[in-house]
Structure 1
């Protein structure tokens, strides 16, 4: 069974242009609009797990952070696809 938070994170990210990011609160507000603040720690926790697996990148001020040691406002983005850095 797929985790609804994980699904919501990837649904949000897949709607964006490559390299763009989202705030965890965007996902929390989609899942529980009335009580999104309560959902936010769960979204961040799932994001940390996905980052540890290499399926997601957590950024702060546009730079990747260690999923085991960060504080404050973060954003979530998909890892770059292999070969994205190659000139066309």
Structure 2
């Protein structure tokens, strides 16, 4: 996750990330947030989500096995969301 997101009346940018069985809280510092998780072959999805707190412009992305999904949010209390799901026949989409 990267961009500009000043703390608003409700506090700093609220970031959650992980998989269908492991949700974690992230911290946005110096204009970015980055995390690496071990790959769980049984996971149904991996995602990252952040809600702006009144203003800002952020981008987010999730990468699994070389596949990437991206999201964007700007202004207000909008949400940046990126998610990759495991395919029925393998792989990520």
TM-score by length of 1: 0.26
Question: Could you say which structure has the higher helix fraction?
Answer: 1
